[in-house]
Amino acid sequence: MKTPRDPHGVAPDKSEWALLLIDVINDFDFPEGPKLLRFALPAARRLVALKKRAHRAGVPAIYVNDNFGRWRSDFRKQVARCVDQKCPGSPIAKLLPPADDDYFVLKPKHSGFFSTSLDVLLSHLGARKLILTGFATDICVLFTADDAYMRDYQLSIPVDCSAAETAAAHRRACEHMKRFLKADIRPSAKLRFRAD
């Protein structure tokens, strides 16, 4: 039986798992953006299905997003800008809009843990198992995974729900996380959590 949510919108009392969507709200408006977008769009489609399964299982989704140097902006403004048709990243932002009961953490650098409230939120949730997804596998996903590993989180990083600028860079990063961070990199369809 699911724990009822607090009427004030605070985090649920307990959740062993948490799904992190790293930099999925992204304009992809940078020199390497088109290369990354080519691989990110198929990964985002699979991430939609994983997020739905997680929601059904009561696993909270946390958008861990770069502020892209826009220090006067906030996450809602980021979403509005990225879903705009003129934005190269709009297909992904439209596929993965945050729901009202999702969480978000803005990060100033590569890792989702560096100078953010992510650790506090995960502690409040009681989460010890993290599912890391998003872009790019060999940069922000990897840096977040490194920091999570050093904090003793158990990691699942589905190989099909993240992307890098090249297939080789993605593969190398996944193998690195599997070998050195003990991450489970099996495809998202094989990932099991709670009563799913």
Q: Quote the pLDDT of residue 71.
A: 58
pLDDT tens column, 17-49: 999 999 999 999 999 999 999 999 999 999 999
pLDDT tens column, 159-188: 999 999 999 999 999 999 999 999 999 999
What average pLDDT does the chain have? 90
Measured CA to CA, the distance from residue 15 to residue 124 in angstroms comes to 9
- Joined together, the tokens standing for residue 67 give 């502020």
Q: Work out the average pLDDT over 90-115.
A: 95
CATH 3.30.70.20, domain 17-190, yes or no: no
Measured CA to CA, the distance from residue 77 to residue 110 in angstroms comes to 20
Please state which of the ranges 60-64, 80-84, 182-186 shows the lowest mean pLDDT: 80-84
Q: Is the pLDDT of residue 110 over 70?
A: yes
Q: Is the pLDDT of residue 139 over 60?
A: yes
72 falls in which pLDDT band (50, 70, 90)? low
% of residues, the chain, pLDDT over 90: 79
Helices 167-180 and 142-150 meet at what angle, rounded to 10? 0
Q: Quote the pLDDT of residue 105.
A: 94
Q: Work out the average pLDDT over 44-73.
A: 88
Closest C-alpha among 98, 114, 90 to residue 26: 90
In DSSP terms, 20 is beta-bridged to: 62, 132
The residue with greater pLDDT, 192 or 157, is: 157
